[in-house]
Structure 1
């Protein structure tokens, strides 16, 4: 690669090229229901039983034969005998969820009754099935409960448990190797004091690993690699067993930026230079079947590249269905300026029912993301937004 960006690829095209290079993983594993939330089903779940498997009371009250209650009302109650069995003229107390006694076909809510010794005044007429949960009312035997590819939630785990399952087959999580590069980086584990001028604590790897975990991958964090092509190459080759490789830093066109050319030497460099601000130096490639993302070293630029490329990449690798983002419509307190030809990632803070752009927050100022409530994306063909204009606001994850 030369020392200038020879071309700048649009975000949409860059993402398309990158995703086309990724094949979903099809390896599966069984996990206990206690650990299934956030995992993706690798096979359809068909019920092997009825839920519930018995007729049950849906209310606290008295089990009765509906035919014993015609015309019952507060002004004209029907008297039934309390009993341990149900037959003509008798009733039996039942709790919510209890099995309905043999012979009963309805439940009268306790609110519609008055007890007097061993008699019960029934003050409401009921019909067969009233306040009764029928067999299979929730799920019937051989019902398709969940399809393959379903993203499991805690409530889904409860449904699976009600079917008598203890484990479920899911797709394996993608392993994502995270390789921080840079002679200026100092490990947080070994740092004993404030680094000297020109040296910085390595924090991009921490942020990247946490996002990988949040998005459904397994982060594998390596040690810091110096700005030498041979060292970066060795680190990449040592991690080609991972499902995705992320190189952090060394993506621009300076004398110490070697990551894209290393990827090109080992595989195919799909994109170097994206119409994204911040995030222009991002590079995308593939080494064999392993997708590679070169993340800019500036923290916010690296974060934006994570959002735009790593997240969709993990989603495709893990067959993770896309969950619609929460998007808020808000009016701007102040004008947003942007670069034509780039998708601009503008951090904003809430002010009541409006939003204000964070000004003076460059790609190296990571705290600007922590201070932001959300972000606005200005399309590449739009030159900013005016004060008072309504915009879509995406929440910072």
Structure 2
């Protein structure tokens, strides 16, 4: 029987574990993806766009005029026209020399001579060239996630593909933790990664080690088997295929998490319990995904705390938050129930060197619903 793996006598501080994990990690090379595939990925450098619309177009159905020719026109003093007015459809190009559109109620065609019954100002009823997209704009700035509204802009500009960074993640599930592995895979895809999952043939070190050899990736995540029980062998398997940079992280929940390398590929071992895995995902794996994606920042919201958060010195603790009356209300600290996870709108980590935050203190929390 394989001896159980052991945690070190002292836990590795979270910031030290993260530094070791990210050491030498660089953004992956950009790829061109179809618009639907690029959604949620992080934008790489994109070429400047031409103006859209490329010329003035009608914003509504009506008659095209030159505004200066309509000065003084009203229902009390109709302006007779020497020729029938030009009709334009919404979205159609404006005729040369015309700069406004009047609706049909403002033009009387019932008599022998057409008459205009209202004035207009230049640009009325017109969408000007570059009004939607200014020349030189980009679909999304490098380092920012591609959002649905960015795809609208891309389609309007006639683009079929976007230049993005999408790191390849491989998730190895140690049998017994499929619910957690699915959660991490879905979280990875939501972060813009290309995530592929597989399950080790067994919980023993040999089976897990064999699963680690199954394909190249930019970040390897192993879910489950990180503890010190008799059937926990993930860290032993990691050491057999690469090296362990830290096992036993000063993180609550998630103390049995680990970081390492297989060749040049960074590895995060996440515990099998959902709350512990999420803690390791947020604090270790997600920063690695951001580094690989070239993401410049993650959305935070700064609000005061409704009540004090107390924390143990020496252990970084995850806090789940809910927004109420423009304040952060604490849902859970260190122990994260599934209900709290489902309700949470944001999270933050209390650093290991801190005793917590006083009531009323403004804190930056990472949004879970962005």
Does TM-score exceed 0.5, indicating one fold? Answer: yes
Q: TM-score, normalised by structure 1?
A: 0.77
- Identify the range of structure 1 (340-349 vs 207-216) with the bigger mean alpha-carbon deviation: 340-349
Q: 1:369 aligns with which of 333, 341, 346?
A: 341
Question: 2:252 touches 2:334 (CA, 8 Å); kept in 1?
Answer: no
Question: 2:242 touches 2:262 (CA, 8 Å); kept in 1?
Answer: yes
**SS of the counterpart of 2:149?**
helix
- Identify the range of structure 1 (262-271 vs 214-223) with the bigger mean alpha-carbon deviation: 262-271
Structure 1, unaligned runs of 5 or more: 84-90, 186-200
1:313 paired with 2:288, answer: yes
> 5 Å matches for 1:86-165?
91-102=85-96, 104-110=97-103, 113-117=106-110, 118-127=113-122, 131-139=125-133, 143=136, 145-146=138-139, 151-165=145-159
Over 3 Å counting, the alpha-carbon distance change for 1:211 and 1:58 in structure 2 is same
**SS of the counterpart of 2:81?**
strand
Report the alpha carbon displacement of residue 166 of structure 1 after superposing the two structures with TM. 2.7
Over 3 Å counting, the alpha-carbon distance change for 1:385 and 1:35 in structure 2 is closer
Task: Count how many residue pairs are aligned between Structure 1 and Structure 2.
Answer: 363
Residues 207-234 of structure 1: CA distance to partner in whole angstroms, max 9, x if unpaired?
1111111111232222245342222221
Over 3 Å counting, the alpha-carbon distance change for 1:371 and 1:145 in structure 2 is closer
Report the alpha carbon displacement of residue 3 of structure 1 after superposing the two structures with TM. 3.1
Looking at structure 1, the residues matched to 236 and 61 of structure 2 have their Cα atoms a distance apart, in angstroms, of 72
1:276 paired with 2:251, answer: yes
Looking at structure 2, the residues matched to 370 and 390 of structure 1 have their Cα atoms a distance apart, in angstroms, of 24
1:12 paired with 2:15, answer: yes
Q: TM-score, normalised by structure 2?
A: 0.81
Looking at structure 2, the residues matched to 132 and 120 of structure 1 have their Cα atoms a distance apart, in angstroms, of 21
> 5 Å matches for 1:28-43?
28-31=31-34, 33-43=35-45
Question: 2:5 touches 2:227 (CA, 8 Å); kept in 1?
Answer: no
Which residue number corresponds to residue 70 of structure 2?
69
Over 3 Å counting, the alpha-carbon distance change for 1:116 and 1:331 in structure 2 is same
RMSD of aligned alpha carbons: 3.4
Report the alpha carbon displacement of residue 304 of structure 1 after superposing the two structures with TM. 0.6
**SS of the counterpart of 1:286?**
strand
Over 3 Å counting, the alpha-carbon distance change for 1:252 and 1:43 in structure 2 is same
Over 3 Å counting, the alpha-carbon distance change for 1:160 and 1:8 in structure 2 is same
Question: 2:302 touches 2:362 (CA, 8 Å); kept in 1?
Answer: no
1:329 paired with 2:306, answer: no
Question: 2:251 touches 2:317 (CA, 8 Å); kept in 1?
Answer: yes
Structure 2, unaligned runs of 5 or more: none
Which residue number corresponds to residue 340 of structure 1?
313
**SS of the counterpart of 1:145?**
coil
Looking at structure 1, the residues matched to 36 and 224 of structure 2 have their Cα atoms a distance apart, in angstroms, of 38
Which residue number corresponds to residue 205 of structure 2?
229
